[in-house]
Amino acid sequence: MTDNDDHAPTGRWRHGARLAVYAGFLLAMFYLVAVARIIDIDGVRAAIAATGPAAPLVYVAASALLGAVLVPGPILAGGSGLLFGPLLGTFVTLGATVGTAVICAFLGRRAGRGSARGMLGTERADRLDAQIARRGLWAVVGQRFVPGAPDALASYTFGAFGIPLWQMAAGAFIGSAPRAFVYTALGASIGDLSAPLAYTAIAVWCVVAIIGAFAAHRGIRSWRRRDRDAKSAQP
């Protein structure tokens, strides 16, 4: 297929249809897992606890996979805190979070990369690739600070737009550390939410939310400005 074919209306329609199917599949998965709750998280947690000393590693692997099928991260992190306490649980949550990010980005890259480039067009896609090469890591870090942003869906999107896996792993590790502590600590404090640990977790969450909202606003403005500058620099 030539570049002209990719830019033709029929080519863009085809790429758009593929991305729509991809997005629809993710939304259906989100509904089944997060709303209909077809996965028994309590049963999974009990089965992992029964594995004894290997439970932390088993939980990392299982939680990474469950996160990739859009089980909400706070639920998994809270379970980690409940099972392993705030200290070990935070590291377990962080390991699972990085695993989910890599899995989602890999699948997103395989499923949606070609169509995403086709929809953008060669010039825009090349500009986006250049920006990702320079700032993709910090885009992932920034997304993790944005309050309410679903990490797994964002990771699928990052993968479709070509974020390298090493940037996903490093960005998820750096950006997810505060929230990993927050949700894990709340899970560990579930029996006494008036404990100092719970108050600390809530305070950290508020600080992260404020920083994330500010960073997202600045990042969007900066991204648009660089895109305009790149367009104006072209002959």
Burial code of 152-180, b = ≥16 C-beta within 10 A, e = fewer?
bbbbbbbbbbbbbeebbbbbbbbbbbbbb
Query: What's this model's pTM, rounded to 2 decimal places?
Result: 0.77
pLDDT digit string, tens, across residues 169-216: 999 999 999 999 999 999 988 877 778 888 898 899 888 888 877 776
Task: Please state, in angstroms and as integers, the Cα–Cα distance from residue 89 to each residue in 19, 84, 155, 183, following that order.
Answer: 36, 5, 22, 10
Task: Give the model confidence (pLDDT) of 217-231 as tens digits.
Answer: 676 677 677 666 666
* CA 53 to chain CA mean position, Å: 29
Q: What is the pLDDT of residues 132-153, one digit of tens each?
A: 767 788 888 888 888 777 899 8
Radius of gyration, alpha carbons of the chain: 20
Report pLDDT digits (tens) over 24-79. Answer: 877 787 777 767 777 787 888 889 989 999 999 999 999 999 999 988 899 999 99
Residue 166 scores a pLDDT above 50: yes
pLDDT in tens, 84-99: 999 999 999 999 999 9
Report CA 168 to chain centroid distance, whole Å.
9
